[in-house]
Amino acid sequence: MSATPETTVVRVPKAGEMVAARLRRQIVTGQLHEGDLLPSEPVLMEQFGVSRPTLREAFRILESEQIIHVRRGAHGGAQVLLPDTAAASRYAGTLLQYRGTTLADVYEARSHLESAAVAMLARERSAANLRRLNHMLAEGEALLDDPVTFAEKHDLEFHRLLMELSENQTMMMFLDILFSIIESHNEKFIREHRGRPFDTSNVAAAHNAHVKLVELIRQKDADEAVAFWREHLTQITKFMVQDSGETILDVLS
């Protein structure tokens, strides 16, 4: 007796999704630029051979992705927006909230990704990379007597620079999403503890860690740079995440 063949249902994209995909490709490949107005509805309907409801469904898809903005009225139209990491961050934040993700989980993911970025930077660092890192160190040194500003702005900017200089676009995107959550947590933490945990000794320790990391990067000692930075990030997590059960919902809501 022969086995019953397994049935596979293939979902056919709707016409609105297909039109959205065509327009999206034109935006991300640079055929359409930020601020451009899409052709009028009649022109697009003729171009794609679709009805007005189908075209408007495509607009709704692209507007939900925040890569177009539809202006209503006599002088309205669909205007192109650049894809924005902030939109992805908001969606990712909502999804992680729904899953009950803890802050400790976010910080752990950040540690893995940022350590990988440090490894890549240490192996491939250039003179231009070192100049930017040294400039950042000088900015940090100038803020040692202003611990709150150091904690609110400079420290995360240093971490972002490491990510940027790694030049891995995919890691940069994912780290930026994590940083958007960590930045919100940072602001909340500072509001709740203003004047108590942030003093000159704390920011001096953070700055000294930055200096040591840059020196390891200068030496192209990737293994030591990663080990040192992972330990530094572990200490940051212990300092910032004082309740292992605290979730993203407590930060982003």
What residues does each domain of the chain span? 15-80, 86-252
Classify residue 129 by burial, with Cβ atoms within 10 Å: 0-12, 13-18, 19+: buried
Distances (CA, A) of 144 to 10, 201, 202: 60, 9, 9
Which CATH number is 86-252 given? Answer: 1.20.120.530
The per-residue pLDDT for 89 is 81
Measure the N-to-C terminal CA separation of the chain; round to a whole number of Å: 59
Distances (CA, A) of 75 to 37, 47, 78, 151: 11, 21, 10, 46
Q: State phi, psi for 71 to the nearest 5 degrees.
A: -95, 130
Q: What is the pLDDT of residues 135-191, one digit of tens each?
A: 999 999 999 998 888 988 899 899 999 999 998 989 988 998 898 888 888 888 877
The per-residue pLDDT for 10 is 53
Fold of the 15-80 domain: Arc Repressor Mutant, subunit A (1.10.10)
Is 149:194 a contact under the CB 8 Å cutoff? no
The per-residue pLDDT for 94 is 84
Q: What is the pLDDT of residues 88-97, one digit of tens each?
A: 788 888 888 8
Instruction: Write down the residue that tokens 């209503």 correspond to.
Output: 72
The per-residue pLDDT for 43 is 93
The per-residue pLDDT for 9 is 57
Residues 6+ apart with CB under 8 A from 63: 69, 70
Please list the ranges in the chain whose pLDDT falls under 70: 1-12, 73-75, 194-198, 253
Q: CA-CA distance, 149 to 158, in Å (whole number)?
A: 13
